[in-house]
Amino acid sequence: MQNKPRLSFWQIWNMSFGFFGIQFGWGLQMGNMSAIYERLGANESQLPLLWLAAPVTGLIVQPIIGYMSDRTWNKLGRRRPYFLVGAILASLALLAMPHSGVLWMAAGLLWILDASVNVSMEPFRAFVADLLPEEQRTVGFAMQSVFIGAGAVIASLLPGWLGKWGVSTAPTAEHAIPQVVVWAFTIGAVVFLLSVLWTIVTTKEYPPEDMEELRRKKQEGWGEIWVAFKEMPVRMKQLAAVQFFTWMALFSMWIFFSVAVARNILGATDTTSALYQQGIDLANECFAVYNFTAFIAAMVFLWLGRKMSAKSIHIISLALGGIGLASVGLIKDPFLLKVAFVGVGIAWASILSMPYAMLSSALPADRMGVYMGIFNFFIVIPQILVAILLSRAMEYFPQVNRLSAVVFGGFAMLLAALLTLRVRSSGQKASA
């Protein structure tokens, strides 16, 4: 639709609610997978390669799903069929993950989980651009960030809560993965599915204006993805550089922060020790701080997006995040660690919304899905490079450890903030 009607607050709420469940699943993965791998016998240099599932599946799945959803229309709509299929498969993988008895099983399930999450997640970005007029898109993407923050906060704190409520936190001779993780992942599977179903049931999509054009596009070959890649708008190319270094930073943090706190900051040497679990719990609390901060910051962005450009918000937010992450290398006090992650949380809220707000107005409507998928290249390729290079560096250079990898991520985020200065601005504010 050329003149899309403005949507109410609650309509934007409903269309974004599925992200609560998606991020609940991601949050459980980010806070617990490295510890699951180490408990199943993985060493430090293997962790980056074991995490390759997320970027590689994103690299393959997201552009394909974007391409397909641009050419889909059935009783469920254009994007919603993909929400549903991805949610069902991801929930099944979450149920199975904590029952892994060997390393290869956990690694295989992570590939299934990440592929399924990408099937659900990719169309959500195009969903906002499909349904909202341009002046409401910053608000729409910020609303997604609100739910992402809320889902991730609860997911990060859930294992700790379950432990306080009496669920066992210790591995046993029969089960390397504690029951607290089993319960958390089971709850996550249910939350993931129900949240996505809420969006599917409460939100309707606009039918294509030209069904004949849609049928014609279905006949196009997969080469259309390559054509779209070659014809990327200038602003998308500029944002690609920002995303590259941003996600290099985030991936370094997600892989190594939890185990860096346990190993390098608290000094645990045994994955079965109480000190190791204490470190993982502290790291999860830091993740909860950054996700709660992101939740609050995203709500502030709903208001601030009417006063400032998405570009200005993003520059300031990335700078705060980079400073917070880089400072981890100097901090030993648990309270100060959490303070540092306030900056990371502000950056995270912006990362989840502002690049897409800047991007969406530069994209043609008939290629919205495929371009959102291609944009994901610049999220996943740096993660693949980090996984390969850091695993080699850790194998051959003992001075490169879990903590130094996290600090490296902080400097990468600061570079991303500088690169945002180059992005051509649309000059538009948002309205709710």
Give residue 430's pLDDT.
Answer: 40
pLDDT band at residue 431 using 50, 70 and 90 as cut-offs? very low
Helix axes 80-96, 53-70, angle to 10 degrees: 160
Give residue 320's pLDDT.
Answer: 97
Regarding predicted confidence, which is higher, 80 or 176?
A: 80
Tell me if 85 is assigned to some domain.
Answer: yes
In 10 A of CB 303, how many CB atoms? 12
Give residue 198's pLDDT.
Answer: 96
Which amino acid is residue 422, in one-letter code? R
Instruction: Kindly state the DSSP code that residue 170 receives in the 8-state scheme.
Output: S
Tell me if 193 is assigned to some domain.
Answer: yes
pLDDT band at residue 222 using 50, 70 and 90 as cut-offs? low
77 phi and psi angles, rounded to 5 deg: 115, -150
DSSP 174-197: S-SS-HHHHHHHHHHHHHHHHHHH
Element containing residue 302 per DSSP (H, E): helix 274-304
pLDDT band at residue 149 using 50, 70 and 90 as cut-offs? confident
* Residue 147 near residue 23, CB atoms below 8 Å: yes
Q: Which residue has the tokens 């069929």?
A: 81
- pLDDT of 398 > 70? The answer is yes
Tell me if 291 is assigned to some domain.
Answer: yes
Tell me if 289 is assigned to some domain.
Answer: yes
Give residue 428's pLDDT.
Answer: 41
Tens digit of each residue's pLDDT (9 = 90 or more) over 243-293: 999 999 998 998 889 888 888 888 888 878 888 888 888 998 998 898 889
Give residue 426's pLDDT.
Answer: 59
Contacts of 330 (CB under 8 A, 6+ apart): none
- pLDDT of 16 > 60? The answer is yes
* CA distance linking residue 99 with residue 189, whole number of Å: 14
What mean pLDDT comes out for the span 392-418?
A: 90
Tens digit of each residue's pLDDT (9 = 90 or more) over 37-56: 988 988 878 888 888 887 88
425 phi and psi angles, rounded to 5 deg: -90, 145
Which amino acid is residue 258, in one-letter code? S
Q: Which residue has the tokens 């910020």?
A: 142
* CA distance linking residue 274 with residue 129, whole number of Å: 48
Domain containing residue 68: 9-204+225-420
- pLDDT of 370 > 90? The answer is no
pLDDT band at residue 24 using 50, 70 and 90 as cut-offs? very high
Contacts of 81 (CB under 8 A, 6+ apart): 69, 72, 74
Helix axes 310-326, 234-260, angle to 10 degrees: 30
Give residue 429's pLDDT.
Answer: 42
Tell me if 3 is assigned to some domain.
Answer: no
Tell me if 276 is assigned to some domain.
Answer: yes
* Residue 344 near residue 290, CB atoms below 8 Å: yes
- pLDDT of 214 > 80? The answer is no
Give residue 237's pLDDT.
Answer: 92
The neighbouring-strand residues paired with 362 are none
% residues pLDDT > 90 (the chain): 35
* CA distance linking residue 347 with residue 315, whole number of Å: 9
Give residue 427's pLDDT.
Answer: 46
Give residue 221's pLDDT.
Answer: 65
Q: Is 364 exposed, middle or buried (0-12, 13-18, 19+ CB in 10 A)?
A: exposed
* CA distance linking residue 314 with residue 355, whole number of Å: 8
Regarding predicted confidence, which is higher, 26 or 415?
A: 415
Tell me if 17 is assigned to some domain.
Answer: yes
Closest CA to 239 of 137, 376, 64: 376
- pLDDT of 125 > 80? The answer is no
- pLDDT of 102 > 50? The answer is yes
C-alpha dihedral (191, 192, 193, 197), degrees to nearest 10 = 100
Closest CA to 226 of 127, 385, 70, 371: 371
What CATH number does the domain containing 246 carry? 1.20.1250.20
For 376-399, b where at least 16 C-beta lie within 10 A, e where not — what string? Answer: bbbbbbbbbebbeebbebbeeeee
Tens digit of each residue's pLDDT (9 = 90 or more) over 153-188: 899 889 888 988 988 877 777 778 889 899 999 999
Instruction: Kindly state the DSSP code that residue 43 receives in the 8-state scheme.
Output: -
Length of the chain measured in residues? 432
* CA distance linking residue 291 with residue 99, whole number of Å: 27
Counted domains in the chain: 1
Please provide the average confidence, as pLDDT, over all residues in the chain.
86
C-alpha dihedral (265, 335, 171, 400), degrees to nearest 10 = -20
With H, G, I as helix, E, B as strand and everything else as coil, classify residue 425. Answer: coil
For 29-93, the three-class secondary structure string (H helix, E strand, C coil) is: HHHHHHHHHHHCCCCHHHHHHHCCHHHHHHHHHHHHHHHHHHCCCECCECCHHHHHHHHHHHHHH
Tens digit of each residue's pLDDT (9 = 90 or more) over 286-328: 988 988 898 888 888 878 877 888 899 999 999 999 999 999 9
Tell me if 108 is assigned to some domain.
Answer: yes
